[in-house]
């Protein structure tokens, strides 16, 4: 079977960031509401790794929008913008003068700047490797692995029904945009195995949120083996997990604010999705869902409410996303609202995009 090539946004595809060998960062990936923040906490518990969740997001907010970094003014603009964003969003400080000093005398490629920023933000406490969570951007895993020839990536899957139920519970997007969660899950389930075949299991690891939750020690042992880091059972003591820079992993749940969801992994979609919503998720996400070990519900489709199903499919935006899937075979990746525009407006006010 020929390799499938997936389009990337023009603003990224047309750029060729130089490679930076000799550094071993880790990109943490997944669809929203898939356990990516908890995965970040897991990586952060490994002594030689310092991980951040949704802070710099270099491949989303920096690389596509900043160019000619050899120009001092352009580099300063980028670093000042990063510092302003992470200060406003996460109360984090970035030592911009120190990063300028570190980059002095070397080529100002995106790979070099990305690495310098993350090392300045995360390293210094004993760890020598940084990791960044960037959800909903798995199509740029190849870009990351090309930028960092010694880097690695981990993508986490979760039952698409639970992803959709969780997104339904917490999203601010208008109804029924939450159903796009299953389309994103579908795309990731199609694409990630092909990516892993291309780059090798030694560079791209795939895991399930349910396995991470129910067998934390076993999963961490596999993660450490993948990263080439020592493992001990003490690493898997969830009560010893520290804070991470960015989102609070302990409360980043739609269903449970006390952390039990990280060890129980009980299905959340039961009672949260209507029969019609459940039907659409399962129809869209098969056969990949079953291939990952998520059994179908076995619901009686003859009992579905045609009017309720029609109302879901009548939404123009959802209908458009489904049409993209049906005509191309690959659902679109991403959010309904532009995350870059949203971030810029939150931090710098309206009009700054």
Strand partners of residue 154: 28, 205
Q: Which CATH number, 3.40.50.2300, 3.40.30.10, 3.40.50.300, 3.90.226.10, labels domain 23-240+259-348?
A: 3.40.50.300
pLDDT value of position 6: 38
Mean pLDDT along residues 137-148 = 96
Question: What band does 126 get if pLDDT is binned at 50, 70 and 90?
Answer: confident
Token pair 């898997």 is at which residue? 236
Domain spans, the chain = 23-240+259-348
Give the confidence band of 250 by pLDDT, cuts at 50, 70, 90. Answer: low
Of 339 and 145, the structure prediction assigns the larger pLDDT to 145
Closest CA to 38 of 158, 160, 167, 178: 158
* H runs (alpha helix) in 200-234: 209-214, 216-227
The three-state secondary structure class of 55 is coil
DSSP-derived secondary structure letter, 26: E
Residues 280-331 have pLDDT tens digits of 999 999 999 999 999 999 999 999 999 999 999 999 999 999 999 999 999 9
The pLDDT, as a whole number, for residue 124 is 86
Q: What's the pLDDT score for residue 240? A: 85
- Rounded CA separation 284/80 (Å): 43
pLDDT at 27 (0 to 100)? 98
CB 8 within 8 A of CB 140: yes
- Identify the pLDDT of residue 5: 41
For the cut 50, the answer to whether the pLDDT of residue 14 exceeds it is no
CA distances 174 to 31, 168, 169, 204, 314, Å, are: 19, 10, 12, 34, 14
On whether the CB atoms of residues 272 and 266 are closer than 8 A, the answer is no
- Does residue 260 have a pLDDT over 80? no
Q: How far apart are CA 247 and CA 256, in angstroms?
A: 15
Say if CB 114 and CB 147 are below 8 A apart: yes
Contact 275, 303 (CB under 8 A): yes
End-to-end CA distance of the chain: 42
- At 84-107, the pLDDT tens digits run 999 999 999 999 999 999 999 999
Report the mean per-residue pLDDT for the chain.
Answer: 89
């Amino acid at each position: 079977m020929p390799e499938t090539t997936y389009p990337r946004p023009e603003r990224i595809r047309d750029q060729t960031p130089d490679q930076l060998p000799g550094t071993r960062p880790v990109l943490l990936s997944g669809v929203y509401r898939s356990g990516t923040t908890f995965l970040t906490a897991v990586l952060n518990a490994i002594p030689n790794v310092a991980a951040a969740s949704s802070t710099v997001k270099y491949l989303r907010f920096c690389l596509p929008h900043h160019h000619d970094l050899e120009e001092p003014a352009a580099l300063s603009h980028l670093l000042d913008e990063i510092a302003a964003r992470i200060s406003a969003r996460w109360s984090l400080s970035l030592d911009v003068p120190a990063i300028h000093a570190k980059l002095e005398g070397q080529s100002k490629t995106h790979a070099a700047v990305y690495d310098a920023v993350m090392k300045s933000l995360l390293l210094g406490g004993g760890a020598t490797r940084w990791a960044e969570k960037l959800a909903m951007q798995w199509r740029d895993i190849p870009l990351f692995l090309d930028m960092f020839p010694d880097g690695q990536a981990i993508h986490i899957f979760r039952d698409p029904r639970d992803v959709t139920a969780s997104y339904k519970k917490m999203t601010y997007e208008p109804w029924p945009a939450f159903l796009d969660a299953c389309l994103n899950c579908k795309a990731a389930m199609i694409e990630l195995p092909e990516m892993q075949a291309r780059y090798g299991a030694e560079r791209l690891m795939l895991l399930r949120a349910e396995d991470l939750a129910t067998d934390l020690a076993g999963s961490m042992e596999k993660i450490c083996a993948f990263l080439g880091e020592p493992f001990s059972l003490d690493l898997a003591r969830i009560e010893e997990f520290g804070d991470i820079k960015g989102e609070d992993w302990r409360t980043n749940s739609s269903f449970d604010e006390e952390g039990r969801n990280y060890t129980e992994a009980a299905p959340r979609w039961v009672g949260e999705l209507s029969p019609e919503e459940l039907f659409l998720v399962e129809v869209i996400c098969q056969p990949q869902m079953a291939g990952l070990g998520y059994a179908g519900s076995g619901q009686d489709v003859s009992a579905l409410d045609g009017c309720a199903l029609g109302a879901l499919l009548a939404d123009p935006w959802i209908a458009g996303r489904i049409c993209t899937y049906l005509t191309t075979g690959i659902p679109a990746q991403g959010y309904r609202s532009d995350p870059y525009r949203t971030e810029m407006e939150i931090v710098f006010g309206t009009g700054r995009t």
